[in-house]
Amino acid sequence: SQVYLNGAFMALEEARISPMDRGFLFADGIYEVVPAYNSVLFRFDEHLERLERSLREVEIRNPHDRQQWQVLCEELIERNGGGNLSVYLQITRGAATKRDHAFPEPPVAATVFMMTSPIAVPAADSPDTASGGKAITRDDTRWARCDIKSISLLPNSLLRQQAVSAGAMEAILLHDGFVTEGSASNVFIVHDGVIVTPPKNHAILGGITRDLIVELCGQHGLPFAEREITEAELRQADEIWITSSTREVVPITQLNEAAVGDGKPGAMWKTVARHYVDFKR
Ligand code: PDD
């Protein structure tokens, strides 16, 4: 496949970065994942706004303006044959001459890397035949700034592996007895007929898919509340969903060893999945 690295498009096999890159040494960088359907970028402004915010929070200068980012993404999509692809975009603080925790002085050029991956057919595309997945619960062992889309993903990676080892598709994380999010997704529940998701704060990534679902709930007058979710509410939920740019909105039908609701994708999920697909078109 074709990738973009520091000003040039090339075959993945040709791409090389320095072992002194601060992304490699310190996980000192941030990333975005932007889906494209039929080669058209989806919620691009929202993703770029979050990218700009992540860069600001870690004090990496944005190497491109929005127009330039869009041109790069579109060219990369085209060079990879187009269709339904997610664009991965990573920016690190760059390669310094020595390993020092503090930022390089004078500053070095940021490293910019972009690649694409095919998007699997999402569950929301076929609400009537979707089967749903399993999730496990785990303690949220991450840092205090999960709102930054940092490439420092070791805890997320360890937690996702625990899910996979347990035959699950996601680990739903609990901090002091409250749901934060999944290892790479946001979480919604349906409780007493109301769709609930935790508020955006430093404990979770402000998901673009999450925000769209919230918007769709408003547009279609679905009962919705943004508030903290206790572990007990999660366990008693009639429905649980996870959301992300690559999975859209997926029903969780088994939590640990227990069925969620009747163990099938719920009616509210089907409604939201249909609205999501209509919005995408
Ligand atoms: N992850 N929370 C975390 C920790 C995530 O890593 C992600 C997405 C989300 C959902 O955000 P969005 O709806 O904007 O994709 C929430 C991406 C897809 C990834 O790491 O591959």
Same domain, 108 and 132: no
Same domain, 140 and 242: yes
How many structural domains comprise the chain? 2
Domain hosting residue 25, numbered range? 2-119
User: Does 184 contact ligand 1 (Cβ within 6 A)?
Assistant: yes
Does the active-site annotation cover 149?
A: yes
- Residue 217 is predicted with a pLDDT of 98
- Residue 71 is predicted with a pLDDT of 98
- Residue 23 is predicted with a pLDDT of 98
Atom of ligand 1 nearest to the CA of 246: 18
User: Does 207 contact ligand 1 (Cβ within 6 A)?
Assistant: yes
Same domain, 33 and 152: no
Q: What is the pLDDT along the chain (281 residues), one digit of tens a residue?
A: 999 999 999 999 999 999 999 999 999 999 999 999 999 999 999 999 999 999 999 999 999 999 999 999 999 999 999 999 999 999 999 999 999 999 999 999 999 999 999 999 888 889 999 999 999 999 999 999 999 999 999 999 999 999 999 999 999 999 999 999 999 999 999 999 999 999 999 999 999 999 999 999 999 999 999 999 999 999 999 999 999 999 999 999 999 999 999 999 999 999 999 999 999 98
Same domain, 80 and 186: no
Same domain, 104 and 143: no
Same domain, 112 and 130: no
- Secondary structure in 3-state letters for the chain: CEEEECCEEEEHHHCCCCCCEHHHHHCCEEEEEEEEECCEECCHHHHHHHHHHHHHHHCCCCCCCHHHHHHHHHHHHHHCCCCCEEEEEEEECCECCCCCCCCCCCCCCCEEEEEEEECCCCHHHCCCCCCCEEEEEEECCCCCCCCCCECCCHHHHHHHHHHHHCCCCEEEEEECCEEEEECCEEEEEEECCEEEECCCCCCCCCCHHHHHHHHHHHHCCCCEEECCCEHHHHHHCCEEEEEECCCEEEEEEEECCEECCCCCCCHHHHHHHHHHHHHHC
- Residue 121 is predicted with a pLDDT of 86
User: Does 245 contact ligand 1 (Cβ within 6 A)?
Assistant: yes
Same domain, 23 and 106: yes
